[in-house]
Amino acid sequence: MWKKKIFLVIIAISTISLLLHHGGHLTWTMDAFHLGCPALHSHPYSGLKPKHSNVVFLKTHKTASSTMQNLLFRFAERNNLTVALPIQACGHQFCYPRSFTTHSVHQHTLPPNIVTNHMRFNKAELKRLMPNDTIYVTILREPGSMFESLFSYYNQYCQSFKRVPNGSLEAFLDEPWRYYKPEENYSMYARNTLTYDLGGDKDRPAKDVSYAKAFVAQVERVFSLVMISEYFDESLVLLRHLLSWDLDDILYVKLNMRTPSSKQGLTDDLRKKIRAWNSLDAQLYDHFNASLWRQISAVGPACVAREVRLLREAQEKLMKRCFGEGMPLVRSAAEIKNKELRPWQPSGKVDIVGYDLPVNITQSFSSQDQELCLRLIMPEVQYTKMLLRSQLLRYRLTSQARPQQQSHSFQQPVRTTLLRHPAHRSQPPVPAAATPASGTGINSKTAAGTRGRTNKQGAKPSQTQSS
């Protein structure tokens, strides 16, 4: 009997130790559990369930996707994962706007667990690259605010926008076919950009209702979660449930923002014209916005609201940790002293702001805190380059450790900085041959493959809407 009591005491001590060790997110998890969250019922402490780490995030344009990409980059580093990155000739995107092909993936970032840089979606090629259990996620934004952002951001690159007198959004929408040329470079920014990014036909006539319905159905079959920019925090809660992640894994700072002076207000009439011109994108948004709220209803609105509140409280603590008592102040690129934190500027007509870490705070940081806070606010171009350098170094180290005859094989991920709980990994196959640049849609058959996961997952707006 006394042996049994000693055994129970040891179990209790071990349990308390585990909970104290993970105290940073214990309260958050248990508060959500008290509300009876269905996804947490079987696992009151989410760390008992392995984190899912094989993820493709289709990074769409002007949808808060840079914030989401940063979150995934940090998750990869903490969990010793490999991120597929573009070859040098493609810059920081997978040779967008051409349809994605595995030839655009840097060979020293293989085999990947995560894909998140800009691409034009090609499921067949991704199936050849990624493991069987890969989960596909993307994000959409309300068509009016998204198109206004595209028009402002790409005004000096997209000829359909550039030829409009005085850069007038109203003039373009009054006569879009006068300025829009479907075959021109960067024309995908001027019409149905979400549809194009997802691999669809941006110029399919609005009257082709059957195509629109079929395309929405295709997207729903492929993507387990379609996030909504206007409800970013609610979307992150659903993502956390889907991937069995912790609170720490979904903390973020909003990135790639425009200044208020770079934005244009929209009348109801302009919004209607934008929806009519981007009818495919509008149908995608309407469908998946409704789908998001059905999923929230399934999890439990009270549960999701509680998790959103706890997420925001945790983010406030993180902001104080990195920026002191005051919230981070956005700065123009010229004002940011650290060049690794200066966001890319698309033109002189648009100001993209970023952040700088306070000197008086960073001097008292540990090296690990500095790395965390630096990565949290690092723009995508610099983060992509840094991640590629670290993965190239990792590749060289692992290649030297292998027998000579095995040097051509895929490298195994090794430990990097900010390591936390290990996440589940599996090995994808060898890259495939290239596909035509045009692409034919989300289920393109330009490359053979039998892998992939395509199951469906099913308040007030978050303050993280992309600008």
The β-bridge relationship of strands 352-353 and 257-258 is antiparallel
Tokens coding 91: 């810059």
Beta strand residue intervals within 147-223, DSSP E? none
Q: Is the dihedral of CA 317, 322, 326, 327 positive or negative?
A: negative
Architecture of domain 53-325: 3-Layer(aba) Sandwich (3.40)
| Closest by Cα among 246, 253, 423, 238 to 355 | 253
The DSSP annotation for 211-227 comes to HHHHHHHHHHHH-SEEE
Please tell me the pTM assigned to this model: 0.79
Per the CB < 8 A criterion, the answer to whether 346 and 157 are in contact is yes
Tokens coding 464: 């993280």
pLDDT at site 25 = 45
| Closest by Cα among 115, 28, 74, 461 to 252 | 74
CA–CA separation, 437 and 446 (whole Å)? 10
CA–CA separation, 105 and 82 (whole Å)? 12
Cα-to-chain-centroid distance, residue 87: 20
- DSSP SS3 for 162: helix
The β-bridge relationship of strands 114-115 and 55-58 is parallel
Tokens coding 328: 């981070």
The DSSP annotation for 64-76 comes to SHHHHHHHHHHHH
- Chain position carrying tokens 């290649």: 399
> Which residues, 6+ apart, have CB-to-CB distance to 190 below 8 Å?
150, 158, 160, 161, 176, 179, 180
The H helix count followed by the E strand count for the chain is 18, 6
Residue 137 gets the label, from left (phi > 0), alpha (psi -120 to 50) or beta, of beta
CA–CA separation, 111 and 84 (whole Å)? 8
Per the CB < 8 A criterion, the answer to whether 448 and 124 are in contact is yes
Provide the residue-wise pLDDT of the chain in tens; the chain has 467 residues: 555 555 554 555 454 444 444 444 444 444 544 444 654 443 444 446 799 999 999 999 999 999 999 999 999 999 999 999 999 999 999 999 999 999 999 999 999 999 999 999 999 999 999 999 999 999 999 999 999 999 998 988 899 999 999 999 999 999 999 999 999 989 999 999 999 999 999 999 999 999 999 999 999 999 999 999 999 999 999 999 999 999 999 999 988 665 665 667 899 999 999 999 999 999 999 999 999 999 999 999 999 999 999 999 999 998 888 887 766 777 777 777 888 888 877 766 766 777 777 765 555 667 777 888 889 999 999 999 999 999 999 988 888 877 654 544 443 333 333 333 345 444 333 333 333 334 445 654 433 333 333 343 335 455 454 56
> Which residues, 6+ apart, have CB-to-CB distance to 452 below 8 Å?
123, 126, 127, 130, 132, 134
> Which residues, 6+ apart, have CB-to-CB distance to 457 below 8 Å?
224, 225, 238, 242, 295
Kind and range of the H or E run holding 228: strand 225-228
Per the CB < 8 A criterion, the answer to whether 190 and 426 are in contact is no
Neighbouring CB atoms inside 10 A of 178's CB total 11
Tokens coding 273: 């014209």
* Largest Cα–Cα separation, the chain: 88
> Which residues, 6+ apart, have CB-to-CB distance to 153 below 8 Å?
62, 258, 346, 350
